[in-house]
Amino acid sequence: MPHPPCSIPLLHLSSGKGFGGGERHVLELARALAARGHVVHVGARRDGALWERLKEFSEIRLHPVAPRNAVDLFAARKLIRVIREEKIEVVHAHYARDYPVVAGAVRRLRMGGGGPAFFLTRHHYLPMSRHLLYRKWLSVADGMIAVSETVKRTMCDSLGCPAEQVTVIPNWVDAARFGIPLLREEARARFGLPRGAFIVGMVNQISPAKGQRETVEAFLNFREAFPEAVLALAGSEAGGTTFTDELKRMVAVRDAEDAVRWLGFTDDVPAFLRACDAAAIASYDEAFSIGVLEAWAAGVPLAASNVGGIGELVTDGETGIFFPPKDVSGIRDALVRLAGDAGFRERLIRSGKEAVANYSVARAGMLTENLYVAALEKRKKRNP
């Protein structure tokens, strides 16, 4: 894959404290762009998980710049200083609260006729502000990126911008991470899961919007036909255990505590999925779904809700099986089909392996770089 004729000083900004899909996106994209020959800087919270993980990569230059809110003037001043000192040519924001701060810094720097190109990536399916001032403030952006067509439509509707101003660059997964030399029995032993059971896995934050309530109920009904089945939930609840406790009471009422395993958060998704016979994603909505790509890469047949970015990724009956969101009967029926038809599971696995090859960070890095180069060339013609 050809590299650009020259190195571009880039600054990516991500102000989150935890480490979720958005932070992994920034980490892997930053490394991919550095591998393509660019000088990559990342602004992040010094006390955040992204900073901690990026410290081990010498090719990434870190800066403690992370807005606490959308009107953080102190962060804007720090951002301006970094841009000037490091001669940054492209600033790329990834958090909603970062967009206005970067827009303000870029506007200030352009008052003298220069300033960097400005890009933002939208990772969430929820609408953005429709306020006219907000739209005007972000109009300084040279380009906007959505992780799916679903997100693009929401962005265009919220910001009142034409479709050509938003480019879709899908998320990705490092498929090589899932090629681990680990037997299923070893993976199950690692997570304390029974060797002979049909195991349905869910990897997600424990939250009503992720569909665990409906999945637990559907699984308990499904288990009437497949009594040796086990549901393994990998994830934790943010801000307490109220919803988790509710789910546990549902299980206890059905006297099925041994059938549902609460594994908590795991960073070893490849090993967890290696332990599973099927994966379920029951979200009410999704901007994209890294979970779909992970299931494909791990070779695990997938049952998923037909919503948002999931609906764009999965082809029903080929790379997964759909059920309507919040539909307990639909989830049960999907699990019954997966558990009862080994040939169908194998077909889904083969098709998923083929599909995941289209979602790589190398491709995303090249597409993102193309946007940067085009924007810089356009700005150069405008300000020779």
SS3 per-residue string spanning 50-114: HHHHHCCCCCEEEECCCCCCCCCHHHHHHHHHHHHHHCCCEEEECCCCHHHHHHHHHHHHHCCCC
89 and 237 part of one domain: no
Domain membership flag for residue 271: yes
pLDDT tens profile 129-182: 999 999 999 999 999 999 999 999 999 999 999 999 999 999 999 988 998 899
181 and 267 part of one domain: yes
151 and 126 part of one domain: yes
pLDDT at position 3 over 60: no
E strands along the chain, which residues? 9-13, 39-43, 60-63, 90-93, 117-122, 143-146, 166-168, 199-203, 230-234, 260-264, 278-281, 302-305, 321-323
| pLDDT (average), residues 334-342 | 98
Domain membership flag for residue 373: yes
Tell me how crowded residue 154 is: count the other CB atoms within 10 A of its CB: 21
364 and 280 part of one domain: no
Domain of 13 in residue numbering reads as: 9-172+360-382
Domain count, the chain: 2
Distances from the Cα of 362 to the Cα of 20, 55, 178, 367, 370, angstroms: 20, 22, 17, 9, 12
Distances from the Cα of 189 to the Cα of 231, 292, 295, angstroms: 15, 24, 20
348 and 227 part of one domain: yes
CA dihedral 294, 300, 301, 306 (to 10 degrees): -20
pLDDT tens profile 110-133: 997 789 999 999 999 999 999 999
Task: Please tell me the predicted confidence (pLDDT) of residue 267.
Answer: 87
222 and 120 part of one domain: no
Determine the length of the chain. Answer: 384
Task: Please tell me the predicted confidence (pLDDT) of residue 1.
Answer: 44
62 and 136 part of one domain: yes
144 and 33 part of one domain: yes
The predicted model scores a pTM of 0.91
The residues with which 168 forms a beta bridge, in sequence order, are 146
| pLDDT (average), residues 248-261 | 97
146 and 275 part of one domain: no
HSE, CB side, 13 Å, CA atoms: give it for residue 43. 28
pLDDT at position 232 over 70: yes
223 and 296 part of one domain: yes
The residues with which 202 forms a beta bridge, in sequence order, are 233
322 and 373 part of one domain: no
Distance from C-alpha of 178 to C-alpha of 297, rounded to nearest angstrom: 6
204 and 255 part of one domain: yes
